[in-house]
Amino acid sequence: MNSIRETFKGRDLLSLHDFTPQQIAFMLDYAAELKQMQKQGEPHALLQGQTLGMIFQKSSTRTRVSFEVGMYQLGGHALFLSSNDIQLGRGESIADTGRVLGRYVDGIMIRTFAQSDVEELAEYAPVPVINGLTDLLHPCQILADLLTIKEHKGRLAGLKLAYVGDGNNICHSLLYGCAKTGLNISVASPEGYLPREEIVAAARQDARETGASITITTNPEEAVTGADVLVTDVWASMGQESEQQARVKVFAPYQINARLAALAAPDYIFLHCLPAHRGEEVAAEIIDGPHAVVFDEAENRLHAQKAVMALLMVK
């Protein structure tokens, strides 16, 4: 057990694809352990005296609050750095930003646009870098999703997860997360909005080790039939606001509503990373209904990220 813990020290979390199935299982178990300790009031100041620098080039409620509160609960401190607070994007290179920040803080979380920017930051920063979201991937969200599914279903391997909607960063990281944990995934997206082929190919490579199946389709009914878990996301993500009206027309048949959910397993659970647009990607009767676990999922951002920070940043 200690040997696998040692493999995390000083590493970056850029993509779930970079971790083994055993490491991801360990992260989820550790998140559950930290959650229990927090609920029972047991002190766990694993990062006492440490500081996490948080770079936000995209705003977020859940990411900022969960990382900041998480660092506090771990005995450390979080430093919020918006685009107005640092020189990134105003002439200072990503490499220099990484070199400088890495001399002040013990870890960096970045929420930005390009995955390549996170990778470059990680290359030059001498401290662990955590991907808090890019246009390509959102690994921390999917760790929280997997933790939530495991809590409600008792396992991951062998279940069927259906993702219906845009083949975006959530979809990409779900492909990796499911493939790494043996969770069968079926993705339904409109033509032109399917997940990127290289991500699907890499996930299929991961799935060979766990036996997970990966299905990509344009048919939402096919994707959700018999599913234990239904997941969707907004139709227009941050930075795609100008496409909103066009996307509403394209994605209308992909709304998760009672008609579509009736095809899922009777005891399915519904996940959404939030913020949600009721009446667009999900009907109110689903997200406010008895199968929804979206607020457990939101809470688990805190516990999953605490596990990530404690494993990567511990000295």
Confirm or deny that 247 is annotated as ligand binding. no
Give CA angle at 306 (135, 229), nearest 5°: 60
* 15 labelled ligand-binding: no
Is 7 among the annotated ligand-binding positions?
no
Residue 237 annotated as lining a ligand binding site: yes
Answer for the pair 108, 53: CB distance below 8 angstroms, yes or no. Answer: yes
Give CA separation, 197 vs 113, 167, 283, in Å. 20, 10, 29
Residue 301 known to be catalytic: yes
60 is in an annotated binding site: yes
190: Cβ–Cβ under 8 A, 6 or more apart, which residues?
Answer: 218, 250, 251, 253, 254
Q: Is 169 annotated among the ligand-binding residues? A: yes
Q: Which of 23, 73, 141, 305 is catalytic?
A: 141
61 is in an annotated binding site: yes
Is 43 annotated in a binding site? The answer is no
273 carries an active-site annotation = yes
* DSSP structure string for 222-254: HHHTT-SEEEE--SS-TT-GGGHHHHHHHHGGG
Determine whether the annotation assigns residue 63 to a binding site. yes
CA-wise closest residue to 277 among 194, 202, 192, 166 = 166
Any binding-site annotation on 238? yes
300 is in an annotated binding site: no
Question: Length of the chain, please?
Answer: 315
Question: What are the CA-CA distances from residue 213 to residues 5, 30, 216 (Å)?
Answer: 28, 26, 10
To the query of whether residue 90 is one of the catalytic residues in this protein, the response is: no
- Phi first, then psi, for residue 216 (nearest 5°) are -120, 125
Q: Which of 117, 301, 303, 305 is catalytic?
A: 301
Q: Could you give the CA distance from residue 165 to residue 195 in angstroms, rounded to a whole number?
A: 10
- Active-site residue identified among 117, 273, 303, 305: 273
Going 152 to 156 to 160 to 161, the CA torsion angle's sign is positive
Tell me if residue 178 is catalytic: no
- Catalytic member of 145, 228, 233, 272: 233
Catalytic residue among 11, 64, 138, 247: 138
**111 flagged as catalytic:** yes
Concerning whether 17 is annotated as a catalytic residue, the answer is no
Q: Does 34 show up as a binding residue in the annotation?
A: no
Confirm or deny that 171 is annotated as ligand binding. no
CA torsion angle 241 244 247 249 (round to 10): 180
Is 44 annotated in a binding site? The answer is no
Least Cα distance to 178 among 228, 217, 130 occurs for 228
301 in a labelled binding site: yes
- Numbered residues of the known binding site: 60-63, 87, 111, 138-141, 169, 233, 237-238, 273-274, 301
Cite the active site residues. 111, 138, 141, 233, 273, 301
- Numbered residues of the known binding site for carbamoyl phosphate: 60-63, 87, 111, 138-141, 273-274, 301
- Numbered residues of the known binding site for L-ornithine: 169, 233, 237-238
